[in-house]
Each structure stands twice: as C-alpha cells, then as structure tokens.
Structure 1
Amino acid sequence: MSKKLFTDIEIKNLSKNPYVKSVSTKGIIYTDEFKRIFIAESENGKSPRQIFEENGFDIDIIGIVRVNRAAYRWRAAYNESGVLGLRDTRKDNSGRPINRELSLEEKNAKLEAQIQLLQVENELLKKLGHDGKGAGEKRVKVSAEQKFLLIRTVIEMYDLKNMVSFLCEISGVSRSGYYNYFSPKSQENRDRREKEDLLLKENILKAFNFKRRKKGARQIKMTLKGQFGIKYNLKRIRRIMKKYKIECTIRRANPYKKMLKATQEHSVLPNLLNREFKQDIPGKVLLTDITYLYYGKGQKAYLSTIKDSSTNEILAYNVSNRLTLDLATDTLVKLKNNRRIEFAEGAFLHSDQGVHYTSPTFQKHVKKLGLGQSMSRRGNCWDNAPQESFFGHFKDEAFIKPCNSIEELKKEIRSYMTYYNNLRYQWDLKKMTPVEYRNHLLHVA
C-alpha cells in the first residue's frame, strides 16, 4: 500500500467519481465496473495512467505508485480467474453470517450462475465496443435494460431455477425492475414507443437526404420545419439519429477534443509575448506547437516541438501517430530531462489556443516546470511565427516522404534535429548555428 494519505478535501473529490466505491485516508476501493473497463482499455495498449485520467481520476491526488500497484493486482487477478477475479469479495468474506447456511450444491449453483452471467456480459461488451479495433474506441457501459436481457438470457440458456434475485444483485439492478421490464404493460409501452420512433426516423431521413445532401441534427431540424412543416425537438432528433445510426460525416467533432474536455474545464491564457521573439536571453521565451507529417503511402504522424525563441534551438520534440494529449505533455517531460537547458528568470512557454495547451493537465505540467504560460490571439498564426517558420523549413529539408514506418520517420527526425541545432547556420543568428548562438549569448552575458 502507498504511504500517501488522503486529506479530507482529496477524499471528497475522489468520492465524486462514479467509479469509486469508497475511499478513506489510506486507500480507495474501486467499482468492479471500472476494473473491467481498465482491463479492456489496457488490452488495447493504453497505459494505467492514461486509463485513470480518461475516467476522471487526478493522478496527482492518487499517486502514480498506487495506480501502478492497482494495475498489477487487477491484471494478475484477470489472468488467473478472468472477469470473475475482478470482483470485490470484501463483503463476501466479511465473516458476517447469512440468514441461512447454504448447502454445497446451492453455493456451487450460485457460483456457476455468476460465472455464466459474467461470461455473457463480457461477450456483450466486446460486441458493443471493446472489440480490439484500436485505442480510440469508445468505452461502453451496460445499461439496466441490457442487464435485464442478459439475466433472462442466462436463465433461459442454462435453465437456472430461483436465480433471479441473486443475478439481479450481482448485476446491480433491482429485482422489481427486472419483473417490471418483462411485464405485459411495459412490453406494450416499448412497442408503442418503437412505432413512434420508426415514424420519427422516416421523417428525419426525409430531411437528412433532402436534395441528396447530408445534414447534421441542426440542419435536419431546420429542414423539417422549413420544407415539411414538422417541428421536432433537437434532442429528439439526436436521439433518433443515435438509435438508428444516422450519421453525418461532414465536420464531425474531433473525438480527442471531446475526450480532453470530458472531465475538466479548459482555460485560455493571455498573450505575454506580444511578438517580442528576440529577447537575446536563452531559456527565457519558449515556443511550442504541433504539426502533421505525411509519410510513406498516405500515412500520417504528428510532431510536437519546443523552440527557444532567442536562439532558434529545438529544445525538445515528440513524434506520434496519434493526436492525443500525451503528444504535448511528453514533449514537456523531454524538455525537463534536457540537462543542457537552464531557464532564465521569468521564463514562459508560448503556444496557440489549441486544445492540448488549454488542457488543465498540460497547464499543470507547465507550472511544475516553473514556467509561465502565454497564448497567441485566437486564429492569429503571426503570434507564433518563428515556430511556424521552423515547421516550414523542416518539411522542405527533412526526408519525410520516403519513410515507410513510424520508426524510420523518428530516425529521420532525430537526424534532422541534430543537424538543425548543431550544423545548420542561420543568417539572422550572425551566421551561427542555434547552439553556437546560444553559447555566444551566454558568453556575452
């Protein structure tokens, strides 16, 4: 167990997370659902830190040691017993007597029913979303309705007797809700709603395909009213589109932006730089940005760099084939590990207003480095012109297109960065290389 103790404020914040069953000063008990989500996401290649952060946990509060130990325990339990090994058995092993001692046959029957339910639920999760197609897949929750259907499927498939209460309990749904769901009245109501939804779908498709031009929900709402005299609520339209998978691919929202903004509020910061790029103080003004790179046969990667505005030296860079928050934060880690760098007094990092840089996580990393943070005005590329200029030269001079793999691309970028910092002379740096000019400024000072 980690030696870190939680304060009352931290306990309060952690308790708000739906995946926390309970929390004390010494530890956290996570829900079984989160453990299953963790295993599914882990098998898709995500790190424990990334999984915890995407599900609303603050690693600074929990501590990376506690996160890694939990990951080790869950993986070991899953490898040994499958999803059954992820269950929290504290209540089962509490030593409290039950109302009646179960016979060995009853215990075995319950255990077998539980295993069968978990197996069927695991299969459902794979079909719904965790099918191993990539790290960007959606995390899927099993709804109460799906759980009711799961329970009935298991009971009918394995011919179980007197197991409804037990299966409802371990599934986290009520017994009364289960029986109500399958009552004739509920079935009648669902049939009626399904007929209504099919009519809504028919009208929405008329607007969706109007003049053979695809439309999003808002355009559909306006087209329905303007062309067909039908008035639908926007939420209703979106619900029907989601239910029947009516998708408009035009201007789709960036999934990474949604992911980054899901749990915390982003902040835009003032422009401290005001285009005063050349201050002749190494380590004072740092510029950062991200650009895309096309290589091989239509493959795409992303390059994040941090540049010293006074010397033009590239202080840190990071390459990835995914545009996630890690691309920017890992660049900061590499900046921290660059022992050649000494920050000047009042040093700050300047960027545009991209979602990576407005992220609370990124801004927290910047503060840990002891740096201030500045941002360009919205939509104004000139406020970060030297960084844009570097990307232009880089794409002209580096041999990016011939690379056939991400490994080849990283090797070429590493070679170019060494050349650029140490061997590429620049007219505006008194005909010196960036490293030579940095040493020149330090010597003059």
Structure 2
Amino acid sequence: MSNKRYPEEFKVEAVKQVTEKGHSVADVANRLGTTTHSLYAWIKRYGPDSSQYQAKSDESAEIRRLKKELQRVTEERDIFKKSRGVLRKPVRLRYAFIKANQAVWPVRRMCKVLSIHPSGYYAWLKQPDSRQEKRRKYLLGLIKQFWLESGGVYGYRKIYSDLRDEGECCGINQVHRLMKREGLQSQRGYRKPRPKVGTENVVVANKLAREFNPTAPNQSWVTDITYIKTHEGWLYLAVVVDLFSRRVIGWSMKSRITKELVLDALLMAIWRRSPSEKVLVHSDQGSQYTSHDWDKFLKQHGLESSMSRRGNCHDNAVAESFFQLLKRERVKRKIYSTREEARMDIFEYVEMFYNVKRRHGSNNQLSPVEYEKRYEERLISVY
C-alpha cells in the first residue's frame, strides 16, 4: 500500500468525503485502500481550514460573479445580433421574435433589449393571431388536405390549382411560401445509392475481440469518455475499467474533452495497479485515443493498444455498460448546479459505492474489490 501514488484530483475528492459528506476517516481510508495517516495529511493540506482552500473559495466566488456578468453581456450582444432589423419592425413582430427565442434567452432580458414591456408580451401571447394570420392558417389547412389527398406528390402549382377550383382567392406565390414553411414539397426522383469503395481505415486492430472475461487482473483494461450535464455546462468523465472484476481503477473529470482527460485517467490506473506485465488497453477510435501523445504514453508504460471498429459500440460494451449504470443509478436522479457538485457526487458513487459495495452480476454478486480479494486468497491457498 505504501508504494501507491494518487493524483491531486483523487486526494481532493477523498477529503470531501470526510469534510462535506460526513464519513469517518477510518471508513473512507478503508474503502479507498489507503491509510488514515495519509488521509489526515490530505485533510490538512486540502481541507476547509487550509489556506489553499480559502484562496480557491474566494477565487471561485469571483469567477462565478464574472461568469454571470459575462453571460448577461453575451446574451444581450447575441440578442442584438440575431434581432438585427427587428427593432424597426412593428411590435407584434418583436413579440414573435421573443416567442421564437424564449428557449434560448430569458424573456425579460429580450424585452429589455427590444424596448418592450413584458406585460405587453404576455398579453399578446393570449391572442397573438391577427386576421391575416388566421387567414394563412385556414389556407394552410386546405393546402395540407390537398397535399395528403395527392399522396404527398403534388407541388405548389397543382395545389394552387386545387385551391382555385375550390373558389379560394389566393396567390400562387403565397401557396409556395406556405408550403415551404411547412416543409411540403412535390415528389422528387430517387437517387441511386453509391456503393462504398476501398478498404476501411483501421488505426489499431481490435485485439480484444470482445473477450470481456479475462482470467486474472491487469490483463485487459477498457477506457471510454462520457459527459454529465450541469447548469454550468458539460462535465466530461473518462474511466479505465479492469475487465477481470469490472473495477474502475482510473478516472478523470474535466470541463473540456481533451487528450489530457484520458491520459490522466490512464495514469491513475497505472499508479494504483502498477502492472508487472503488459496490459491490453482497449478504447474506441475517438480523437483523444488516436493522438500521438496517447500512443507514446502507451509505449512508455509497456501497454498494448486495441481499438473498437469504427462506429461499433458493442466492441467496448463493458465501458458503455458502466456509464449506463452510473447515469441510471445516480446522474439521472439528480440535477447538478455546478461541475464541482457533479464531480463530488460521481466520486462518491465510483469510489465509495460501486467499487467497494455494489454487487455485480459478472462477479457472482460480489463487489469488484471483494471479487479481487477472493481471487488473491485463492492464489495464496494454492501456493
């Protein structure tokens, strides 16, 4: 245990389990496989009483204030940019612009930028249709009826003729505009599909070949990336899973999906496992895993690369299965206000529950840590 090395990200999250979640030092140290002496040292360095924590808290508060101000200025700028010309239009058109973009920006902010009162907008919502708009909706209903009766093959010229036969007074260009707005068009000719030529580009062969049940630890690892939604934006999570016990042995969480995200997760796995023999590391063909730095890192640490076939998620089914469990059992049941809140909750799920407590079907209903412990005990009894 003493030769293990943990990254700073791991230590910070471990301290939060004691200082914020209320777990005892002994319980956290036992679950994470470290010593209480080390955990006390981490608390002294990264805990709430440390100067580093206080400085980081003050800095985070200032950053949040600046982000909020930047969001306000950016939204007003984007509203002006997108509403170019709307300020010169009648009020009802400005109301229509707000209604069309209320899912993008706050209503009151758009009202302020467009110089209208929110109460007027909400009154317009109760009865927004003018006499001309009601006429257009009536014509559109007839157009859809004639278009469906034709089997979806008529264009605007034939629809116009049908309307004239019914005694409706309208212009052919108006029919064309209404059909275009609703996506109604005439039947077009079919394009013959072109056959694929050449051979598929294979970056690295699929050496794992869906052999998801190795006979010992540190033979095959799989890695992948997912994203977690927060009110601050996406939080990206990379994990490394040992196929023998389905234990998450490495992870990293960042606000950007870069090659450092996957390299930090794999580095944590190497520090925690210290494999003595070559390990097969399987991933998909994402840009982070096909980078030169990833390939160089694998060679430096004596690891062998394997990749899924392009567009085939089943070749990396175990990593996909873990992400499905994480989101079903934890992420989908919560709403994260900040990335920090999501980071702490995911750490608790992975290190405090999934690895040490959650029973796994492929492990004879044992947790990954317990399954590995039973395996080591069998080896000792044999020798």
Give the structure-2-normalised TM-score.
Answer: 0.44
Q: Larger C-alpha radius of gyration, 1 or 2? A: 2
Q: Bigger relative contact order, structure 1 or 2, given CA contacts below 8 A and separation 6+?
A: 2
Give the structure-1-normalised TM-score.
Answer: 0.38
